[in-house]
Structure 1
């Protein structure tokens, strides 16, 4: 069992925005680290409550939403790992004609009434819920990340995937004041798919913490190849053992 070393009195607190279902990661944590309690709570703006240390009351790790086009470098004060791009969805009243389609594009909905866009990155859950109330009343259509839309689960509203709309991205973040916290490293590794039989290595480090050689190695692994070997300056690359040199 890949159990985290260190004191077991510290609890791991996870914050997550609407549309995230952290149950599978919490279950894996409890299987691998039964001595470290873990809890999760849905919040509107989890980054506002990040703890800088175990002695503080706040979240150790948060799942948060950002624009897909946002820079992949972490904002100041955070370590952050982007995870996946969310599919977008259009919501309409239950009897809307779009229910006959499997997916749509903005062009398919040309001429339809639209509600003012809701910024799901900054809007509170109550604000989003109020906008969906207007959708159910037939006032207009609304675009939300599909996981968020499905988490609302209303019978008087339908949703369909919307292709070609500006998308959102999910990520995990934690305070930059905690660069070597073993509990956080373990949980982020679980979210990224690290198994119980693998240990943390340089390739698992957050992109913001890797040096140039680690980044090159990670890119090579992603391509399915080997890291490029650089030729020494001022001379030829070393010959492979057992290969005869060619005469001139």
Structure 2
């Protein structure tokens, strides 16, 4: 059974894309895994994933070993305890104000000490605030933690990446097409394009056969006409 392995960073919600892929290709086993810690791009280098949803800030992580297509931008937010001064800001908080509070660094909360959930506990205590992409704040939401969008903040980008050295990219191409909103009948989908190309080859072959038959028929008709003309000429000479 053919298999497609997809991994994604925390905050990405690829469920709808995976459902559509499974509906279109039920014969393909889709294996999905969330990566909360570490560099998700390493999964491509180690051949542990065929495609990954990656989060990055600034330049694209595209290089000679992997393709990367940007998908959408995430806003940066400031998480703080309920009743913290941050709560006085309605929906957004200026960069200058956000920077004025004691900051928590996620690097101090690796997987071994509980990761983001533990960091959120610290935030809930009111000791520090935490800057994260909005999708992370939503994913690890707590009733005792609020967040505000930082203006202008430092937005992050979510992209999809896959290896440049992959021999067969058909299923990855199909999945990327779904992620980018192409319908099942889109001519940009690999499967549709291949079907159209195959249909064109079959149609061209039929046209070539029909043309050859027509040319052969025309040739025979011409030869028959010449033969009849010669027969008529001989008959007139005898008379």
TM-score normalised according to structure 2 size:
0.70
Per-residue deviation at 1:89? Answer: 0.8
* Number of aligned residue pairs: 186
**2:146 is matched with which residue?**
158
**1:142 is matched with which residue?**
130
**1:104 is matched with which residue?**
93
Q: Equivalences for 1:13-52 in 2 at 5 Å?
A: 13-43=5-35, 44=37, 45-50=39-44
Per-residue deviation at 1:76? Answer: 3.2
The partner residue of 2:174 within 186, 202, 214 is 186
Alignment partners' CA distance in 1, 2:2 and 2:45: 13
The partner residue of 1:61 within 32, 36, 51 is 51
> 2:68 is paired with a residue of what secondary structure?
strand
Alignment partners' CA distance in 2, 1:14 and 1:81: 15
Q: In 2, are the aligned partners of 1:46 and 1:59 still within 8 Å (CA)?
A: no
TM-score normalised according to structure 1 size:
0.67
**1:172 is matched with which residue?**
160
**1:78 is matched with which residue?**
66
Alignment partners' CA distance in 2, 1:50 and 1:111: 39
**1:93 is matched with which residue?**
81
For structure 2, which runs of at least 5 residues remain unmatched after alignment?
191-239
Larger Rg: 2
Range with bigger deviation, 183-192 or 159-168: 159-168
Range with bigger deviation, 177-186 or 21-30: 177-186
Cα distance, 1:119–1:146 mapped onto 2, change above 3 Å: farther
Q: In 1, are the aligned partners of 2:174 and 2:189 still within 8 Å (CA)?
A: no
Bigger fraction of residues in helix: 2
Bigger fraction of residues in strand: 2
**2:234 is matched with which residue?**
none
Per-residue deviation at 1:198? Answer: 0.4
**1:224 is matched with which residue?**
none
Q: In 2, are the aligned partners of 1:15 and 1:41 still within 8 Å (CA)?
A: yes
Q: In 1, are the aligned partners of 2:4 and 2:29 still within 8 Å (CA)?
A: yes
Q: In 1, are the aligned partners of 2:116 and 2:140 still within 8 Å (CA)?
A: no
